[in-house]
Amino acid sequence: MTRAIVLTTVALLLIANPAGAEDPAPAIRVLILTGRNNHNWKETTPKLQKLLEATGKFAVDTTVPPEGLTRDNLRNYDVILSNWNSWGGGSKQAEAEWTDEVRSAYLDFVRQGKAHVTIHAGGSSFYEGWPEYRKVALVYWNLGTTGHGRQHEFKVRIDPRDHAITAGLDEFTIRDELWNKPGLVDGATILASAYSDKQGEARGTGQWEPSVVIAHYGQGRCFATLLGHDAKIMENEGFQQLLLRGVEWAATGKTFAPKTEDR
């Protein structure tokens, strides 16, 4: 009887994982920074977590800076996703909590080969005293230059169609907040742009403004999107495709798209 049970167990294991079959890839471990933002982080953070976890590709935790940003803890993750900023009242106190040790661990995490993702206003922090932060955040509100009109419907254009993140994607429409003349780190590659109409609620520039950008920082990959002002907007399929592909590319250099080469 015991021998029969053993043989049956082995047979079931072979069916579940036949010879030559690849083991499923381990989950990409994402740490979302949350707890402070001039946007509704109480709704967008769980929305982002739900979108990522629903794919089965990501395991997601959250933390309120600077907690969790120690070298020992960051070793547990592949991606830092910033849904946090210090914009508004109390910004100096919030930024002061990021000690030199925390800042060093944060940048080294990316520099040494891990990933960083910025959502909408997640890069609008550290305007004084830490310019290096922008090199991983990629996009930010450029004081005295950046602006936006009311939320409105606009087109998002896919720029290079041969990148791993954008391969196979089409232009789409979204009702969102469109930033005009955002701050952009030197050397960033624009993957998608939004048309900023001069007419009506847009109060725009009449130009295509960057919406999704990427760059490398040391050995790490960084992805940023200015789309996604609130949780309702995050229901947009185009936003979700770019988000999910962008996070996976930042972590692995590959995506859901047919072309998976790291560019």
Residue 99 has pLDDT above 60, yes or no: yes
pLDDT tens for residues 132-160? 999 999 999 999 999 999 999 999 999 98
Q: Where are the domains of the chain?
A: 26-140+211-252
26-140+211-252 has which fold? Rossmann fold (3.40.50)
Angle 242-165-29 from CA coordinates, rounded to 5°: 75
Residues paired with residue 124 on neighbouring β-strands, in sequence order: none
pLDDT at 161: 86
Q: Which residue has the tokens 């920082």?
A: 217
> CA-CA distance, 232 to 216, in Å (whole number)?
30
DSSP letter (8 states) at residue 259: -
**Predicted local distance difference test score (pLDDT) of residue 256:** 66
Closest CA to 202 of 212, 211, 191, 194: 194
pLDDT tier, 4 (very low <50, low <70, confident <90, very high otherwise): very low
Compute the residue count for the chain. Answer: 263
pLDDT, position 22: 60
pLDDT above 90: residue 3:
no
Tell how far CA 188 is from the center of its chain.
15
For residue 211, what pLDDT is reported?
98
The per-residue pLDDT for 85 is 97
DSSP H helical ranges for 68-185 = 71-74, 91-96, 100-111, 134-137
pTM: predicted TM-score of the whole model, two decimal places: 0.89
In this predicted structure, the answer to whether residue 26 has a pLDDT above a threshold of 70 is yes
- Burial class, 221, CB count within 10 angstroms (exposed 0-12 / middle 13-18 / buried 19+): buried
Task: Tell me the average pLDDT across 18-38.
Answer: 83
- Residue 6: its pLDDT value, please? 36
Residue 242, amino acid: L
HSE value, Cβ hemisphere, 13 Å, CA-based, for 9: 6
**What is the tens place of the pLDDT at every residue in 43-73?**
999 999 999 999 999 999 999 999 999 999 9
d(CA 199, CA 186): 30
pLDDT in tens, 171-229: 999 999 999 999 999 999 999 999 999 987 777 999 999 999 999 999 999 999 999 99
pLDDT at residue 169 above 70?
Answer: yes
Here the tokens at position 219 are 């050995």
Cα distance between residue 206 and residue 179, in whole Å: 12
Helices 41-54 and 237-252, axial angle in degrees (round to 10): 70
User: Who wins on pLDDT, 109 or 8?
Assistant: 109
Average pLDDT, the chain: 90
For residue range 236-260, what is the model confidence (pLDDT) as tens digits?
999 999 999 999 999 999 886 544 3
Scanning the chain, the segments in alpha helix (DSSP H) are 2-16, 41-54, 71-74, 91-96, 100-111, 134-137, 237-252
* DSSP code for 187: T
pLDDT on residue 23: 62
Task: Confirm if 55 and 72 have CB atoms less than 8 A apart.
Answer: no
